[in-house]
Amino acid sequence: MRCARPTFCQIATGLAALLIQAPASAVGNACTTSEQQLWACEANGKLYTLCASADLGPQTCTLQYRVYQGATLEFAYPAKASHPRRLFKLTLMPRGAAMNFKNGTYEYQIAEPLAGRTEISVRQGSRTLARFDCVDFTDTLTETSTQNFLATLGVYDR
């Protein structure tokens, strides 16, 4: 690039490099420093996330689904972070993956397609109470590394 004003060229080139290197998703991370974020979604002005403790093991790791409005925790399942076996279930769909869990009579599903937007739905019996697309999200439930991690915890059967 030939430029009459080198300073402008340097700034433009630097900004272009930053944009090229920027991740596709800028979704936030609300997990603690001792946890890893397995999945996240922003929708309806809220942050939805799955946080797992770093102590990976068949009996030791915990997993929790959380909903934040700004910095305020609105909902957590389970209420106390617990081992995910028998609480969460990852299933493969023809073109994606879905994480399912129940909280009383409410059934939650995070559906992550291989292409398109991730969707969260809440059902009670045969009624769909809520269904919305994530505006910004991490495509991690369909990743082999996430599936292997969840298989170790007994949440996903390969």
Residue 113 CA, distance from chain mean position: 13
pTM of the model: 0.79
> Would you say residue 24 has pLDDT above 60?
no
Q: How far apart are CA 85 and CA 59, in angstroms?
A: 9
Instruction: Give the side-chain half-sphere CA count within 13 A for 66.
Output: 27
Q: How far apart are CA 158 and CA 143, in angstroms?
A: 13
Q: What is the pLDDT of residues 66-77, one digit of tens each?
A: 999 998 999 999
Q: How far apart are CA 82 and CA 49, in angstroms?
A: 15
pLDDT for 27: 64
